[in-house]
Amino acid sequence: MSQALDAQSSKPQNSDELGAGGGSARATASAMTLAIRILSEFVAAVIVGALIGWGLDRLVGSTPIFLIIFLLLGAAAGFWNVYRVAMKPTQTER
């Protein structure tokens, strides 16, 4: 996975060497896009897990149990999302 991330982070730098002038801003922007994408994929899964757990607790009335379980599942789903983003470089970068 770290190799895949390295391959992705080196890609914008290569295009930076080709393009003069505004190239570095472009590389920064696409690197930031990737970073924000990975961050949002992770955070979104945790939030969705927490919401499902909270909702189930409200329905069943077993206050902390489902919240804890689904928070952990959400974190796992977040890692899974990040893994998927990192392992499919062709779908995130041109």
Residues interacting with another protein, by CB under 8 A?
22, 25-26, 28-30, 32-33, 36-37, 40-41, 43-45, 47-49, 52, 70, 73-74, 76-78, 80-81, 90-92
d(CA 61, CA 87): 40
Least distance to another protein, CB of residue 6, Å: 21
| Contacts of 71 by beta carbon, 8 Å cutoff, 6+ apart | 46, 49, 50, 53
Q: How far is the CB of 44 from another protein (least distance, A)?
A: 4
Minimum CB distance to another protein, residue 68 (Å): 14
SS3 24: helix
